[in-house]
């Protein structure tokens, strides 16, 4: 039986402000990428998210981003690779501490938003993230955007690297994510997203906006947890995969 992980970015509220339906998502996904307090999240939200994930049997990862609460971590910020390395180490450490406090354990790291997109395209940034992960805990896995600089950067540091695709995002012809705000960037129809995911898993390839297939290992599928259609999309993706005989299981136990 084929096996794949289903992950979501969670814990992205801040203080009194909620973002997404984490409780519902944790009943669907097999891994949760938890915001570490700089682009979103705070100690209360982190602890609660880790605790609920533990209760639901969902594996957890640190989800570091740029320190950009106003922009939700989706704006590029002028940090050097060395500064990014320390920002990531700082956030991974915070996630490990709060997960331990909640009785859970962080097993992987996945970069968020603009930081992830920068690391996808620029090897020096990808290297900085991978170095930070290895320095904090070489046993952590790296969840990397498929077919990007994140993959060889993680491998060069000796990390276990798992490649992910996105259920709710469109792809350019070179396999990169279509920039938000451009036509085709966001897939908002749950059934369309589910059909695309199954097609990519069965093909072992990213399917671009133009229909090209770019071969890649697919170990995990992401549904962004902050959108209005997140829960419906996650449910549809899970049902579509399981209906096709694909087993859902966390990639990093």
Number of domains in the chain: 1
DSSP string, 8-66: EEE---BTTB--S-HHHHTTT-SEEEEE-SSSS--HHHHHHHHHHHHHHT-EEEEE---
Q: Name which residue leads in pLDDT, 45 or 227.
A: 45
Q: Whole-number mean pLDDT of the chain?
A: 96
- Tell me, yes or no, whether 164 lies in a domain: yes
CB 143, CB 153: distance < 8 Å: no
pTM over 0.85: yes
Question: Residue 65: inside a domain, yes or no?
Answer: yes
Instruction: Tell me the mean pLDDT in the region 135-148.
Output: 98
The whole-number pLDDT of residue 1 equals: 57
pLDDT digits (tens, 9 = 90+) for 206-244: 999 999 999 999 999 999 988 889 999 999 999 999 999
- CATH code for position 219: 3.20.20.370
Answer yes or no: is 202 within a domain.
yes
Residue 143 pLDDT greater than 90, yes or no: yes
Given a cut of 80, whether residue 43 has pLDDT beyond it is: yes
Is 132 inside a domain boundary? Answer: yes
Number of Cβ within 10 Å of residue 194's Cβ equals: 23
Alpha carbon distance 28, 107 (integer Å): 19
pLDDT at site 227: 86
**63 occurs within a structural domain:** yes
156-167 average pLDDT score: 98
For residue 252, what pLDDT is reported? 73
Does 43 map to a domain? Answer: yes
Distances (CA, A) of 10 to 19, 231, 240: 8, 12, 22
> Cα(63)–Cα(226) distance, rounded to whole angstroms?
14
Taking only the tens place, the pLDDT of each residue in 74-101 is 999 999 999 999 999 999 999 999 999 9
Residue 44 confidence (pLDDT): 98
User: Does residue 130 belong to any structural domain of this protein?
Assistant: yes
**Domain extent at residue 63:** 3-248
Lowest mean pLDDT, pick from 26-35, 102-111, 173-182: 173-182
Residue 6 has pLDDT above 70, yes or no: yes
Residue 253 within a domain = no
With residue 192 as reference, give the H or E element that holds it.
helix 190-203
pLDDT recorded at residue 253: 66
- End-to-end Cα spacing for the chain: 19
The pLDDT confidence band at residue 181, using thresholds 50, 70 and 90, is confident
């Amino acid at each position: 039986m084929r096996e794949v992980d289903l992950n979501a970015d969670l814990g992205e509220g801040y203080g009194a402000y909620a973002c997404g339906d984490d409780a519902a998502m944790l009943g669907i996904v097999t891994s949760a990428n938890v915001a570490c307090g700089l682009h979103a999240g705070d100690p209360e939200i982190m602890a609660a998210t880790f605790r609920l994930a533990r209760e639901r049997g969902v594996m957890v990862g640190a989800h570091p981003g740029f320190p950009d609460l106003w922009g939700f971590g989706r704006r590029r910020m002028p940090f050097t690779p060395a500064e990014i390395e320390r920002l990531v180490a700082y956030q991974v450490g915070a996630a490990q501490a709060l997960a331990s406090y909640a009785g859970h354990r962080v097993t992987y790291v996945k970069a968020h938003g603009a930081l992830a997109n920068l690391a996808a395209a620029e090897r020096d940034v990808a290297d900085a993230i991978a170095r930070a992960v290895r320095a904090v805990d070489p046993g952590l896995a790296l969840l990397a955007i498929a077919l990007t600089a994140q993959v060889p950067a993680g491998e060069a540091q000796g990390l276990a690297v798992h490649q992910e695709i996105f259920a709710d995002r469109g792809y350019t012809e070179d396999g990169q994510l279509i920039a938000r705000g451009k036509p085709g960037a966001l897939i908002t129809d749950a059934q369309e997203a589910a059909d695309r995911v199954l097609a990519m898993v069965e093909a072992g390839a990213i399917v671009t906006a133009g229909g090209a297939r770019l071969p890649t290992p697919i170990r995990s599928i992401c549904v962004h947890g902050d959108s209005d259609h997140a829960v419906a999309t996650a449910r549809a993706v899970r049902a579509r995969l399981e209906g096709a005989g694909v087993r859902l299981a966390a990639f990093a136990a």
